[in-house]
Each structure stands twice: as structure tokens, then as C-alpha cells.
Structure 1
Amino acid sequence: MTALGFLYPGHSGEDDYPRMEQLLGSDIRLPLVHTEIGEDAHRVDALLEMGSAARLAAGVEELRLSGAEAIVWACTSGSFVYGWQGAHEQVRALARAAGLPASSTSFAFAHAVPEIGARRVAVAATYPEDVAALFAAFLKDAGVEVVAVRGAGVITAVEVATWGVEQVLALAREADHPDADAILLPDTALHTASHIPALEAALGKPVLTANQVTVWEGLRLADRRVNAPELGTLFTREPIVQV
């Protein structure tokens, strides 16, 4: 049995996790603890507070007691908003507090893009344009070429959580670019766990979504590989071997 722990801000798209747990198989558990969100706003000052060390540390003990082997901060905007170095410091502090390997959704994207063999990506973000640009800058620091960025301008996670698959697909289509090898949807408030194969079929290329890559990152930290076609290319592709 492998248990992976997730710190999730507030209440919005967290029901993706039991759905993914069901798809991954009976020997993987995905315990999730909610952190205090503070102000629900995709605004830099609010996001910095949401991802503060004190807010993350508050949920660590419950995950330790759940038997988690690794912990992931299941929030993209509340990690990349700190910048490349600041996001590293954030996960190092989380690892120290937990005494476990730790990461965040932002780093999950940075690791997942090369895993699927992509070099250039398009970003389809629910965020305002300025916050979406910060994610693109984070990816560039990770060595990922961003060829297009679309920000939908949604302020709150609560609103994002109401989106259905047609809205998600429309945003992804608007962001897509002929040179993009993959499309990234970086918001853990967005429900995508049930829609990834349909999105990939409609767009004709791999799609990486926030909750999907967050779970994959937890598995990576625990040195587990799981084949789950219902979760898209990321969960079916053989790892890229560097030569």
C-alpha cells in the first residue's frame, strides 16, 4: 500500500482526488488535508499568504498520521507566485516540517512536461493575465519553452470549481498553438480528472492538468509508476531515457 499526502487549499476541486484514487487502483491511497485559504483571490498578495509556511505546516501532522510517504502542496498559484527560488524554499520548509519528501503542483508541471517528451507548451490558465504570466515565467526557469499563454481572468477558486468540461475545453482551444507539444491547465480548483482523455482527443495532443500532475508528482516522490489510461498521456507514457 502506498499513501500519498496532499495539502489542498480550501474547498473547490478536491473531489478530483477520490476520483483519481479510484482510477489508480486499490493499493494507492490519496489522503488530503485542507489548508486555510484566507482570501479566495487569484491576486499576488493573497496567493503569497495562502502558500505561507505557517498555513502549510498546520496540516502536516494529520498527513503524517495518515501514513503518507510523501507530501505535495496541491496548489499551483500558491507556489509559483514565490518565483523559482522561493518555490524551492517553500517545499524545503514543507519537507522539514513533515520529515518526508515534499513538492508542489508547480514543480509537478516542471517535471511532467519532459516526462511526456514535450519541449514547447501552451498555458491555458483560469487566472488573470498577470498571474498566468508568473506561471509562464516559472516554467521558463524550469527550462520549458512557453509558446502561448491565455488567462481567463477568473478571480476565485470557487468560481473555477463550477466550470464544466465545455468551458475547460474552450479555454484550452483558445490557448492552443500550432507549435505547442502539450497544453497545461494550471489550477487545482478546476475539475479535470474525469475529462483528460476527452480533452486530449479533442485537442490532438497531451494535456497536463493541475490535479493530475499533482498526484503523478506524489507517485514520483514515492518511486511508484502506475499505468492509468483514464488519466491521460502522463499516466501511460514510458519514461524518457536521457542519453
Structure 2
Amino acid sequence: MSDSAAFRSDGWGARARIGLITPHNDVVPESEFHALATEGISVHAARVPLGWTSGPEPPLIGLDAVRAFAEPPHVDSAAEMLATMPLDAIAYGFTSSSYLLGPDGDARLKSRLEIMTGEIPVAIPCLAVVKALRALGVTTLALVNPPWFPADLSEHGADYFRKSGIEVMYAASATGLAKDPLSVQPERLYEWVRKHTPRATESIFLGGGGLRSIGVIEALEEALALPVLTANQVVFWQALRLAGVEECLDGYGRIFEHPLPA
């Protein structure tokens, strides 16, 4: 073979390997992570049972199922198994349990999972949002959740950020959009957020790892002149930074221009 032979990418994570803990029936976090991963960054997922089944006419997600996802043993086992690989960081791809746990409970979840992973750091979505808002230098937030989140779960989410020192200008589920995650269209989400975002807010967070949303970030930032965070984007940002990758990803939000705050 010639010394000048060209080789195709084989997906090897030469720059960073990111683990992902995701619900067993959710394709969105993994899909969006792969879209965000640039050359030399690989994504490795472990699935955890979630007691909620989506479909053409799904019920709203139940709070008991949300709580159970974050409890031992399944999520701990997933973290432990991911840690058998040479990963640089692990992302917890489930937002709604944070809303119920609160900031202190999230910190305990992070510590518990990091016992299972040893030296591999774990990024939690809502903790990542708080860090991202600090990095962006903003203190107010509009919170938009998936249409399958009940109103009380959205209120728990607003309370989470208030406890973190963030003023929540708006918090609601995107009612009117499809309740089946596979049926959410980015165009409809974009129009819904444009219509409902209050002018007074300094930032937007689109909660829910199962909400297909990273494709609308750039368009919303341009239309509203605000930084936009989404569950998968922001936890991927933190995981990248924990892995030592300071790259700015074009088209997926202003947050990628920033390092993790001290």
C-alpha cells in the first residue's frame, strides 16, 4: 500500500470519549449527541429503564417514573458499566429528575454516580444549565418544557432554578405540540418558542432530553437575540469541557464560545 494512502474516519474518539446515560426508549439524546460530536469525539451510550411509554397518544410523564429513574440500582449500574471504558466524561441524559431532586439532590446524584465511575466526571443537565448561565453572565431565564411534562413538573423545574439564584421569567410546557417525542417537528417548536418567550428574559432553556431541539438553537438565537440552552446541548457542552475539549461548535449556541466557569 502506498505511504500516501488515505484512510476514512472510523469514529475513534482520539480527542475525547463521552459517555451518555439515557432512558431505554429515548432516541433523542443519543441522536443529538452524535450531531454535536465533531471529528475525533465519540459517544458511548448506556440505557436505563424508564417507566413511561411514549406513542401516538401517550399520557403525560408520571412523577413516580421520573423519581424512579434517578434511584438505584439501574442508573448506578449504567454508570459503573460505562466506566469500564476509557471515557473522559459521562453525561446524565435525563432532565426531569433534576426538577424533582432540586439542586441539592442533583449534587448528591452526581456524587453517587461519580463513586460508581471512579475518576470519570459526571455532568448533570440542570447543574450544567446553572454553570452555563454563569458563563454567559445572565441571571434570568425562560423555561420551556416538552408537551409531555405535566404542569406540576414544570413548576418543580422553575423552583429548581429559583433555588439556584436564577430569576424565572416564564415556565410552561409547550402545549399544542405533539405529545409523542417522535412527532415533535423543529419548525413547530421554533414557532412556539418565538411566540411565548417574554421580552424581559435574558436566556431560554428548552428542558427535556427527549425534546428534539438542538436544530432550532441558532435560528432562535438569531430571532430573539438571546442565548438558547437545551438539555442535550448544555450537558454535552459541560461534558466536552470536563474532557478538556475547548472547541467552539458553530451553529449550536453561544454557550460553546465559553469555558466552564471556575
Q: Same fold (TM over 0.5)?
A: yes
Distance, in Å, in 1 between the alignment partners of 2:122 and 2:92 is: 8
Alpha-carbon shift at residue 39 of structure 1 (Å):
2.6
Alpha-carbon shift at residue 177 of structure 1 (Å):
1.1
Change in Cα spacing, 1:239 to 1:93, as seen in structure 2 (3 Å) is closer
Distance, in Å, in 1 between the alignment partners of 2:261 and 2:27 is: 37
Equivalence map 1:30-179=2 (5 Å): 30-40=43-53, 42-99=61-118, 100-126=120-146, 127-152=149-174, 159-179=180-200
Deviation string, structure 1 residues 213-236 (Cα, Å, up to 9, x no partner): 010111232233111122111112
Checking the alignment, whether the CA contact within 8 Å between 1:79 and 1:90 is kept in structure 2 is no
Deviation string, structure 1 residues 54-74 (Cα, Å, up to 9, x no partner): 121121243223321222211
Give the secondary-structure state (helix, strand or coil) at the position aligned to 1:223. Answer: coil
Q: CA RMSD in A?
A: 2.3
Equivalence map 1:214-225=2 (5 Å): 214-225=235-246
Checking the alignment, whether the CA contact within 8 Å between 1:3 and 1:31 is kept in structure 2 is yes
Distance, in Å, in 2 between the alignment partners of 1:215 and 1:151 is: 23
Distance, in Å, in 1 between the alignment partners of 2:240 and 2:259 is: 13
Q: Which segment is superposed worse, 199-208 or 135-144?
A: 199-208
Give the secondary-structure state (helix, strand or coil) at the position aligned to 1:188. Answer: coil
Checking the alignment, whether the CA contact within 8 Å between 1:121 and 1:182 is kept in structure 2 is yes
Distance, in Å, in 2 between the alignment partners of 1:32 and 1:171 is: 31
Structure 1 position 12 matched with structure 2 position 31: no
- 1:213 is aligned to 234
Distance, in Å, in 2 between the alignment partners of 1:159 and 1:204 is: 30
Give the secondary-structure state (helix, strand or coil) at the position aligned to 2:204. Answer: strand
Equivalence map 1:176-215=2 (5 Å): 176-215=197-236
Alpha-carbon shift at residue 210 of structure 1 (Å):
0.8
Alpha-carbon shift at residue 241 of structure 1 (Å):
7.5
Identity rate of aligned residues, in percent? 24
Distance, in Å, in 1 between the alignment partners of 2:150 and 2:175 is: 4
Deviation string, structure 1 residues 115-137 (Cα, Å, up to 9, x no partner): 12221110111122210111111
Give the secondary-structure state (helix, strand or coil) at the position aligned to 2:83. Answer: helix
Deviation string, structure 1 residues 32-70 (Cα, Å, up to 9, x no partner): 222111234522211001111312112124322332122
Equivalent residues, number: 237
Distance, in Å, in 1 between the alignment partners of 2:164 and 2:182 is: 28
- 1:27 is aligned to 40
Alpha-carbon shift at residue 184 of structure 1 (Å):
0.7
- Structure 1 runs (4+) deviating above 6 angstroms are none
Distance, in Å, in 2 between the alignment partners of 1:79 and 1:216 is: 18
- Structure 1: state its 5+ residue gaps: none
Alpha-carbon shift at residue 203 of structure 1 (Å):
2.4
Change in Cα spacing, 1:239 to 1:69, as seen in structure 2 (3 Å) is closer
TM-score, length-scaled by structure 2? 0.82
TM-score, length-scaled by structure 1? 0.88
